[in-house]
Structure 1
Amino acid sequence: MTSRPRQATSYRARIAGTALLTTCALTVTATTGCGLAMRKTTQKAAQVVAEAVLGESVSRFFDSVGQDRRGMRSQDGGSTSGDTPGLYAAVPDVPACDRGRLAGLLAQDPGKAAEWARVEGIAPAEIPAFLGRTTPVLLASDTLVRNHRFENGTAAGYPALLQAGTAVLVDPWGRPVAKCGCGNPLTRLAPVPDRFEAPGMTAEWRAVYRRSSVVSVTAAGAPQTRFRLDDATAPGREIVRPTGTGGESDTTSTEPPPAAGPDKTPDKTPITTPSNSSTKPPTPGPTPTRPA
C-alpha cells in the first residue's frame, strides 16, 4: 500500500525532469540559432583592385600622360576634405600630368571622349575647360577611388586603391578626377567599405601598407584658389600651387602660408617651369557649382 505514493512521486519527478531537459534543449537550440544568425550577418570583405605606382591599369583609356613617384609613404588616413593641407604632394619643376596631351587624345577619339565626359558628368565639348580647371598633383596617401576602365566601347567603374605617389588630376574641390598614368577618369568610391581586400599589391607596397593610412577624399566646401602640397623631395617644405596650374606658378615655404584667399597669396620666389615642360594646358572655363 505504501509503495503507490512512491510510484506517483517517481512519475511526477520523471515528468519534471523531462520538462527541464526539454527547456534546456530549447535554450541551447535558440542560442545556437542566434549564433548562426550573427555569423550570417558578418560583413564580407569587399574586393578592391590595388594599383601600384608605375603600374598599368586594367583596360586603360590611353598611354601614360603623367609621371608617378616611387618611395612615398602613406600619411594619415580616413575621410578627408579635398582642401586639407598635405593631402597631396608635388615635385618642384616636374609637372605630374600633361593636361594638354590628355585633352588632345580625347579630342582624337570621340567615342572615348563621350564615355570619359559621361563619367565626369559633363558634355564632351566641356572637356578642355574641365581639364583647364584641374591641378596635377601626387597622392600623399594610399587613396580609395572608383577607377574606370575602357572596354567594349564603354567606361566601366571598379573600386581601386591607388598607391601614394600616383599622379592624378584634382578638380577645384580637391577631388581626384583622372589618373595620369592611363588617362582613366576617377570618381569617389561610395560607400567606402569598412573592410576590404586589395589583391595585387607589390611586395614593396605591402611592406609599408597600413589600412589606417588609407584616404577617401570628399569635396571641399568651396572651390579652391590654390592647394597646399607637400614637397616630395624635401620633407617639411610646402608647395603652394594655384588651382589650374601645373607647377609654373608654384611657391615654396617652410612655414605654413596664411589662409587661402584671392588677395592672400604668399609672397615667395616662384619656381620656374623646366624647358621641356608639358603641352600647353587647356584654357580653364568658369568654375561650376559644388559637385554632389
Structure 2
Amino acid sequence: MEFLRTPDERFADLPGYDFKPHYLQVDDSEGGELRLHYLDEGPATADPVLLLHGEPSWSYLYRKMIPILVATGHRVIAPDLIGFGRSDKPTRGEDYSYQRHVDWMRSVLEQLDLRRITLVCQDWGGLIGLRLVAEHPERFARVVAANTMLPTGDHAPGAAFEKWQKFSQEVPVFPAGGVIKGGTVTPLPQAVVDAYDAPYPDERYKAGARQFPLLVPTRPDDPAAPANRAAWAVLANWGKPFLTAFSDSDPVTAGGDTLMQKLIPGTLGQDHTTIVGAGHFLQEDKGEELAGVVLRFIAATS
C-alpha cells in the first residue's frame, strides 16, 4: 500500500499540543505495515481513557481534555486514525474502508493490551469505537458518546450529512482546518486552524479525509451495514455504564443521544448531559467541560 508520512516539522510548536509522540505498526492488509501515532499520557498502570477522534480532526482535538484527565490520575490514550494526524496516510481513496479503520484501531487495543477502558468517542470515533465495544466488550468498562452515531444504512442520513458528503467530494482543496472552524461555535484563532491543517502539506495527504464521508453507511446494502447491525444487537444488551454528552448545536448528530438512551440499557440512570454553546467539535468549544463530565461519570460508576 502506498502512503505518505507527514514531516515531523509540521507538528512543531502547535499551540497547546506539547505531548510526546508514540508509534505502533499496524497491518495494511496488503502485506505491508503502516505507522500509527498515538498519545500516551499519565500513569502506565492506571485504567485507560481512550479518546477517539473523527473527521477531519486528529488527536489535537483532545489537547484541552488530556491534561485535566491526567491530573486526576488517569492514563489517556489518544490515537490518530490512519490517514490523519501523525499517522501514515495511504494515498488512494480505495485504500480506506470502514472495516480497515476498525481493524487498525483493534490493533491498538491488542498491541497495548488495553483493558477496563473508558471510551470517549466523537464523530467517526464513535462509528469505529462502538464497533470495538460490541466486538470486544470484555475490554471496555464504560462509554461516553459525544456527537456520534452508529448508522446501519436503514435510515436516511439527513440533509446536513448529505450536504457535507457532497461538499467533501467536490471542493477543489479540502479545507480540514476550515471544516473544524465551521463546526464550532466559538471563533478559532488562525494558529489553531493551521494546527488542524498541519497533517496535510498538500492534497495528496487528504485521501482519507475525503473518503470518510463516503464510508458512512447510508444504504441498507452498504458493506458495513451487517457488522453495524450486529454491533447494535450487542449494544441492545449492553448493561455497563453508557453516557451521552452531546452538544446543543450540531445538526449532523442531533437526536442521536435520545436514540442511544432508548436502545442501550447501560444508559439507564446515567446523568446524561447536553453541553450548551458547542458545535459538532465540542472538544474544541467546551473541552474542559467535557473532561469534567467524563471525570464525574468515571467517579460515579467506578
- Structure with the larger helix share: 2
Report the TM-score range of the alignment, normalised by the length of the smaller protein. under 0.3
- Structure with the larger strand share: 1
Q: TM-score, normalised by structure 2?
A: 0.23
Which of these two proteins has the greater Rg computed from alpha carbons?
1
Q: Name the structure, 1 or 2, with higher relative contact order (CA <8 Å, separation 6+).
A: 1
Q: TM-score, normalised by structure 1?
A: 0.23
